[in-house]
Amino acid sequence: MKAVEFKNISKNFGNFPALTNVSFGIESNSVHCILGENGAGKSTLMKILFGMYQSDGGEFYIDGNSVKFDSPHDSIGMKIGMVHQHFMLIDDFTVLENVILGNETTTGLKINFTEIRSVLNDIINKYNLELDLDSKVSDISISSQQKVEILKLLFRDSGILIFDEPTAVLSPVEVKEFFKIIDEFKRNKKTIILITHKLNEVKLIADRVTVLRKGEVVYEEDIIDYNIDLEKLAQAIVGESRVSIAVDKSSENLTNETLIQLNSINLSRNNVKILDNLNLSLRKGEVLGICGVEGNGQNEIAEIITGLEKDFTGDFKNNNVNVSLVPDDRINKGMIMEYTVGENIYLKNGRKFIASSAILDDFSDKTINEYDVRLTNNKASLGSLSGGNQQKVIISREISAGNEVLIFSHPTRGVDINATAFIHSKIIEERNKNRAVLLISSDLDELVSLSDRLSVLFKGKIVKTFDPEELASYRSDNKISLTPDIEIKKEKDNQLFELLGKLMIGMAD
Amino acid sequence: MNLKTKINLISISISLVITLLIFSLITIIIGQNPAEILSIILNDVFATGYGMGQTLFKATSLIFCACGLAICFHAALFNIGAEGQLNAGSFVIALIAVYFADLPFPVVFLLCLVSGFIVSGIFGLIPAYIKIKKDVSEVITTIMFNFIILALVNFFLVDFFAVKSTMRTEKISENFMLTKFSDFMPFFSGSSLNISFLIALAVAVISYILIYKTKFGYELRAVGFNKTASKFIGLKVNKITLIAFFIGAGLTSLSGINFIFGYKGFYEMGFSSNIGFTAIAVALLAKNNPIGIIFSSLLFAILEYGGLSVNQQVPKEIMLVVQGVIILAILSVDKIVNNYFENKKDF
Ligand SMILES: Nc1ncnc2c1ncn2[C@@H]1O[C@H](COP(=O)(O)OP(=O)(O)OP(=O)(O)O)[C@@H](O)[C@H]1O
Ligand SMILES: [Mg+2]
């Protein structure tokens, strides 16, 4: 029995075909992964299923019935729910208020809180969501916010759950937790559709995969007993153009010149300690990795170094250098959605006072070509680009600013495998140019392969720093391959990963 | 023409049609024939050179103020204080012209331009500064400053500078008066239209370039679109806020040039007859585009001038109603039109 069946779905933006004759089915009570390059049309297809967009051609069936959705209201009525990449929560409201907000079951003027509470607490216990209904959304971690979104769907009793890159914002430990919840969904006869760029996740969780490329279905396969050829899958995703970049990461240029120094930094917000006597130094020609679960002070470190946060005590030294930042939240902090690619880059890097169209085109062409940005046309506003492509533009803008210090916060979040390899190579290139790079991430692969030194951040404190020798002793070999690593981890790497995983949640010393 | 402009023109046209319908409805309720009222207005404005000249004269001051406001609005700074700001600058302009009557015209004129701009600009800087330092909404402070400034000007005028038993300053030297259009185009004879109008056109073009074609303009609008992102991208948001407010408020002072150097020759309490507020609607109608502001200023000038001529048939307040309806229409139609295109994307 198919829960969802797409038949020849097409969608154009202007005269750009985002989806062309997409046909495939999603088995009821299964986990179905949708993969594909940035801009392949994954989110667009899911937005059509959720009623946010209407297709230009084709139709789709829910449980065998042809349906037509004019808005999410219709799809919600059919028990379809979607968790977007960008959460739709109100920060100032509590978990409970967010769940109640805009829910039909709360008819009339009076809301029966006791009843709703008990229903919600039942759901929370059943799926092990570990949420407190009364905490404010702004006070809880990203992964908990994601659980609030999940709770919203479950409260509506959704049977088909769509997740657009849910694991992009999670640390490895949290991903495991999330997959446990997914398993529980399956046991409860739900159908799960999941978009991701991480192939090893597909192997762990999916029953079937569908790969989109340039708006068309190019590959489909069932996964039985975790059996899938990831190399073949990677090939299907990127087509012929699999990037394989090997960068020479020489350690010659490791000088001891410190550009940024944080000494005994303390920072509190609303009486909660965010940074706790933090010490950190960033040197020329190195990548310093910061490993940790999101919300342990990473953003504050980045904001202090860039000069955006001044409300701290302790000693902050900037050796007279400029700092670039690729922020963690691209929608709110990273870009002007209304501006084109060229305008976004001119905004930061333009030197000329008059913005001639030649200058704007020049900025835009350079980035689009170098980073292989996929967009409908060069004058498209950045808001219309796919998530991964927006990220490429932001990275290009920050790198081409030419500053001595670069902070990358989750640089490859939501970025496909080719672009990830490319961005990694750019980061190493900057390091080799003797720039100082601070790499904040929750992706251990990324951290371990790029960092010269690696610090683990937990509750606003650096609990451990691996120096280059120590890292090398864990690494299986010293040449890093920037080809997306989809092989089984070597023994030594696994040891390191396990240790890091524990340190990140404060379980080791 | 790009898509955005197309969408804007569509929504503006629809709003104007709606406004016309509501205007007709009201006149019918009052017991008048809307077609007749309209024809009186149009006739008064367009039949004579005098009518046209007066209308353009009114438009001139609106263009100055609305361009200033547009610069603030693009940065999402809701400056509601143009009325006060322009009065402060204009008062100073008149005083300088009166007290430096012996200096040559170009010197005095330049002095007036600069000091009027600075005084008005400073009254824009204060709310901007309070906003930056204390996070107080500029909407509230600028409104309050309208009262403060008018009271201050009133005090200085009455106690020190006014001609006895009037509410105006002394007259500036006749030699200082700007050339009137009627001086070289008899067609406009009798009207106050003066070369300030040409300055206004230039200001509109320059504002347009500043907003849409320069680094500063890109920064200004970026702050308006997304202040947080602007900070992270590295823009100096506070500096941009201050500059926007200074230039925006400063430009409103030019309406005093139009009135004092172009028409009456003195500053008079109440001369501005609320153009500082009307200009908000003018800017809004033009979607804060200075070129559009030229046209929306003309429209509002026609309404104001025409309103006077139909006073016999309908209360002249009906023109205020029309202005209000335009704003409401544009705000709501804009949303609808934008949503429509958002969903379609089939263009
Ligand atoms: N609202 C829109 N207006 C114009 N073009 C759009 C819009 N939404 C998406 N597109 C275009 O459609 C294409 C597919 O976008 P989509 O967001 O579906 O990609 P995706 O597969 O989800 O990519 P990613 O992995 O980066 O999230 C992109 O080229 C994008 O620029
Ligand atoms: Mg997407």
Q: Report percent pLDDT > 90 for chain B.
A: 78
Per-residue pLDDT for A486 more than 80?
A: no
Nearest CA, atom 11, ligand 1: A385
A38 lines ligand 1 (CB under 6 A): yes
Residues from chain A that touch B346, judged by Cβ atoms under 8 A, are 12, 14, 56
**CATH number of domain containing B83:** 1.10.3470
- Which member of A306, A336, A355 has the closest CB to residue B214? A355
**What residues of A are in the B interface, CB distance below 8 Å?**
12-14, 54, 56, 306, 308, 325, 327, 332-339, 343, 346-348, 350, 352-356, 379, 397
pLDDT at position A248 is 61
Q: Is A18 in the pocket of ligand 1 (CB under 6 A)?
A: yes
Neighbouring residues of A292: CB distance < 8 A, sequence distance ≥ 6: A171, A298, A442, A456, A457, A458, A504
CA distance to partner chain B, nearest, from residue A52 (Å): 9
Inspect the interface and report whether the beta carbons of A334 and B229 lie closer than 8 Å: yes
> Which has more pLDDT, A407 or B164?
A407
User: How many angstroms does the Cα of residue A39 sit away from the middle of ligand 2?
Assistant: 7
Ligand 2 centre to CA of A45 (Å) is: 9
pLDDT of A478 over the 60 cut: no
**Is A41's C-beta closer than 6 angstroms to any atom of ligand 1?**
yes
Would the CB of A279 count as within 6 Å of ligand 1? no
Q: Do B232 and A350 touch (CB under 8 A)?
A: no
**B147 and B220 inside one domain:** yes
For residue A30 and ligand 1, the question of a CB distance below 6 A is answered with no
| B212 and B340 belong to one structural domain | no
Share of chain A above pLDDT 90, in %: 66
Single out the residue of A304, A288, A320, A503 nearest to residue A408, CA to CA: A288
Q: What is the pLDDT of residue A476?
A: 59
Largest CA distance in chain A: 70
Q: Are residues B87 and B220 in the same domain?
A: yes
To 10 degrees, the CA torsion angle through A260, A261, A266, A270?
0
Q: How confident is the model at residue B337 (pLDDT cuts 50, 70, 90)?
A: confident
- Give A456-465 pLDDT, tens digit per residue: 999 999 999 9
Q: Are residues B272 and B238 in the same domain?
A: yes
Kindly report, residue by residue over A188-203, the tens digit of the pLDDT.
999 999 999 998 899 8
Q: Is A43 in the pocket of ligand 1 (CB under 6 A)?
A: yes
Using the predicted structure, report yes or no on whether residue B8 has a pLDDT greater than 90: no
Give the domain range for residue B338: 8-32+314-347
Instruction: Work out which ligand 1 atom sits closest to the CA atom of A390.
Output: 26
Q: What is the DSSP letter of A481?
A: B
pLDDT of residue A64: 93
Q: Say if residue B69 is in the same domain as residue B125.
A: yes
Same domain, B22 and B113: no
Q: If you average pLDDT over residues B36-51, what whole number do you get?
A: 91
Predicted confidence (pLDDT) at residue B341 exceeds the cutoff of 80: no
Tally of structural domains, chain B: 2
* DSSP string across A120-143: HHHHHHHTT----TTSBGGGS-HH
DSSP state of A340: B
pLDDT for B314 beyond 70: yes
Q: Which chain A residues touch B216 with a CB distance below 8 Å?
A: 353
Mean pLDDT within A463-480: 76
Domain membership of residue B46 (yes or no) is: no
- Identify which of A308, A325, A336 has the shortest CB distance to residue B226: A336
Chain B CB contacts of A346 under 8 Å are 215, 218
Question: Does any ligand 1 atom lie closer than 6 A to the CB of residue A385?
Answer: yes
Q: Which of A308, A338, A353 sits opposite B214 (nearest CB)?
A: A353
Burial of residue A506 (CB within 10 Å: 0-12, 13-18, 19+) is middle
Q: Please state which of the ranges A245-259, A397-411, B199-213, B270-284 shows the lowest mean pLDDT.
A: A245-259
| pLDDT, average across residues B89-105 | 95
pLDDT at A247: 59
Strands of A313-318's sheet in order across: A272-283, A258-269, A313-318
User: Does residue B42 belong to any structural domain of this protein?
Assistant: no
Complex ipTM value: 0.90
Contact B232 A336 (CB under 8 A): no
Per-residue tokens: A164: 């657009």
**pLDDT over threshold 80, residue B336:** yes
Q: Is the pLDDT of residue A488 over 70?
A: no
Whether B211 and B65 map to the same domain: the answer is yes
Residue A411 confidence (pLDDT): 96
Note the pLDDT of residue A408: 98
What residue's CA is closest to ligand 1, atom 2?
Answer: A384
Looking at residue A260, what is its pLDDT?
95
pLDDT value of residue A224: 86
What pLDDT score was predicted for residue A108? 61
CA of A435 to the centre of ligand 2 (A): 32
Find the A181 Cα to ligand 2 centroid distance in Å.
Answer: 22
Give the ligand at the shortest distance from the Cα of A337: 1
CA–CA distances in Å: residue A408 to residues A316, A349, A452: 19, 18, 15
**CA distance to partner chain B, nearest, from residue A353 (Å):** 5
Please say whether the beta carbons of B161 and B110 come within 8 A.
no
Mean pLDDT for A189-218 is 94
Distance CA A484, CA A199 (A): 10
How high is the pLDDT of residue B278? 94
Are B155 and B230 contained in the same domain?
yes
Is B49 inside any structural domain? Answer: no
- The per-residue pLDDT for B343 is 62
Q: How confident is the model at residue B165 (pLDDT cuts 50, 70, 90)?
A: confident
Q: What is the CA radius of gyration of chain A?
A: 23
The tokens describing B58, both together, are 């009114």
Measure CB to CB from residue A335 to each of B229, B235, B346 and give the nearest one: B229
pLDDT tens track for A93-110: 999 999 888 675 555 666
Confidence of residue A254 (pLDDT cuts 50, 70, 90): low
Closest by Cβ to A333, choosing from B232, B235, B347: B232
Instruction: Give A142's Cβ-side CA count (13 Å radius).
Output: 20
How far does A298 lie from chain B, in Å, by closest CA?
15
**How many angstroms away from the CA of B95 is the closest CA of chain A?**
36
Q: Report the alpha-carbon distance of residue B237 to residue B222 in Å, rounded.
A: 9
Whether B10 contacts B313, CB under 8 Å:
no
**pLDDT score recorded for residue A85:** 80
If asked whether residues B12 and B149 sit together in one domain, one would say no
Amino acid at A406: L
Residue A490's pLDDT is what? 53
Closest residue (by CA) to atom 12 of ligand 1? Answer: A18
Q: How far apart are CA B248 and CA B250, in angstroms?
A: 5
- Per-residue pLDDT at A210 exceeds 90: yes
CB contact under 8 A, A333 and B215: no
The pLDDT of residue A242 is 61
Q: What percent of chain B is modeled with pLDDT above 70? A: 98
Output b/e per residue, A379-403; b: 16+ Cβ within 10 A: ebbbebbbbbbbbbbbbbbbbbbeb
> Are residues B28 and B165 both part of a single domain?
no
Q: CA-nearest residue of chain B to A54?
A: B343
State residue B17's pLDDT score.
93
Asked whether the predicted pLDDT for residue A489 surpasses 60, the reply is no
Nearest CA in chain A to B213: A355
The shortest CB-CB distance from A347 to any of B213, B218, B343 is to B218
pLDDT in tens, B179-206: 999 999 999 999 999 999 999 999 999 9
- Quick check: is B47 in a domain? no
pLDDT band for A143, please (50, 70, 90 cuts). Answer: confident
Q: How far is the CA of A374 from the centre of ligand 1 (A)?
A: 9
Based on the fold, state whether residues B300 and B322 are members of the same structural domain.
no
Instruction: Select from B215, B222, B229 the Cβ nearest to the Cβ of A355.
Output: B215
Mean pLDDT for A470-498 is: 62
Q: Which residue of A has its CA nearest to B343?
A: A53
CB contact under 8 A, A348 and B234: yes
Task: Pick A2-238's CATH classification: 3.40.50.300, 3.40.640.10, 1.10.1040.10, 1.10.10.10.
Answer: 3.40.50.300
pTM here is 0.90
Average pLDDT for A72-88? 90
CA B306/CA B302 separation, integer angstroms: 6
Confidence of residue A116 (pLDDT cuts 50, 70, 90): confident
Q: Which ligand is nearest to the CA of A381?
A: 1
* pLDDT confidence of residue A115: 86
Q: What is the mean pLDDT of chain A?
A: 89
Mean pLDDT of A157-168: 93
* A12 contacts on B by Cβ (under 8 Å): 345-346
**The dihedral formed by the CA atoms of A142, A144, A150 and A155, expressed in degrees to the nearest 10:** -140
Instruction: Measure the CA–CA gap between A118 and A95, rounded to whole angstroms.
Output: 14
Closest chain A residue to B218, measured at CA: A347
SS (H, E, C) chain B: CCHHHHHHHHHHHHHHHHHHHHHHHHHHHHCCCHHHHHHHHHHHHHCCHHHHHHHHHHHHHHHHHHHHHHHHHHCCCCCCCHHHHHHHHHHHHHHHHHHCCCCCHHHHHHHHHHHHHHHHHHHHHHHHHHHHHHCCCHHHHHHHHHHHHHHHHHHHHHHHHCCCCCCECCCCCHHHCCCEHHHHCHHHCCCCCECHHHHHHHHHHHHHHHHHHEHHHHHHHHHHHCHHHHHHHCCCHHHHHHHHHHHHHHHHCHHHHHHHHHHHCCCECCCCCCHHHHHHHHHHHCCCCHHHHHHHHHHHHHHHHHHHHCCCCCCCCHHHHHHHHHHHHHHHHHHHHHHHHHHHCCC
For CA atoms A422, A428, A432, A435, the dihedral sign is positive
Return the best residue to mutate from A15, A162, A385, A422 for the ligand 1 pocket (most ligand atoms within 8 A of CB). Answer: A385
Q: Could you tell me if B128 and B277 lie in one domain?
A: yes
Q: How confident is the model at residue A496 (pLDDT cuts 50, 70, 90)?
A: confident
Residue B1 is predicted with a pLDDT of 64
Residue B98 predicted with pLDDT over 80: yes
Give, rounded to a whole angstrom, the gap between the first and last alpha carbons of chain A. 51
pLDDT at A106: 54
pLDDT (tens digit, 9 = 90+) per residue, A275-298? Answer: 999 999 999 999 999 999 888 999
In chain A, domain spans: 2-238
Task: Give the number of beta-carbon pairs within 8 Å between A and B.
Answer: 67
**Mean of the pLDDT values across residues B26-31?**
90
Say what the pLDDT of residue B277 is. Answer: 94
Residue A341, amino acid:
V
Q: Which residues of A touch B225 (CB under 8 A)?
A: 336-339
Handedness of CA B97, B103, B106, B110 (dihedral sign): negative
* pLDDT of res. A494: 75
* Dist. CA A74 → ligand 2 center (Å): 22
